[in-house]
């Protein structure tokens, strides 16, 4: 699985950008879908913090809390940057 981590992190960059756009336009269905995937994949690839963040974003989308979702997506981007720095 470790050999797949770089590919996962590369793909994740695109997902985060899609998530950022979806939350910006208030498309909470897409936010929920992407966050749900992140919730599963984060843990599978050894990043439980990504998984937890995905769960939080999904919950914000389900409750139609756009402002919370925006805040959490910003935190997700910061977490992603931190993970990249640690992995490289």
Position 1 pLDDT exceeds 80: no
Q: Report d(CA 62, CA 53) in Å as an integer.
A: 14
Residue 57 burial (10 A CB sphere; 0-12, 13-18, 19+)? buried
Cα Rg, the chain, nearest whole Å: 12
User: Which tens digit of pLDDT belongs to each residue from 13-46?
Assistant: 999 999 999 999 999 999 999 999 999 999 999 9
User: Which tens digit of pLDDT belongs to each residue from 44-68?
Assistant: 999 999 999 999 999 999 999 999 9
The domains located in the chain, with CATH, are 2-83 (1.20.120.160)
Q: Report in angstroms the alpha-carbon separations of 76 from 3, 32, 51, 57, 83.
A: 23, 14, 10, 9, 10
Position 88 pLDDT exceeds 80: no
Whether residue 59 contacts residue 78, with contact meaning beta carbons closer than 8 Å, is answered with no
């Amino acid at each position: 699985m470790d050999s797949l981590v770089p590919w996962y992190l590369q793909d994740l960059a695109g997902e985060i950008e899609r998530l950022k756009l979806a939350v910006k336009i208030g498309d909470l269905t897409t936010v929920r879908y992407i966050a749900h995937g992140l919730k599963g994949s984060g843990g599978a690839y050894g990043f439980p913090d990504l998984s937890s963040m995905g769960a939080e974003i999904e919950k914000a989308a389900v409750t139609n809390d756009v402002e919370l979702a925006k805040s959490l997506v910003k935190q997700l981007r910061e977490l992603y940057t931190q993970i990249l720095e640690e992995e490289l």
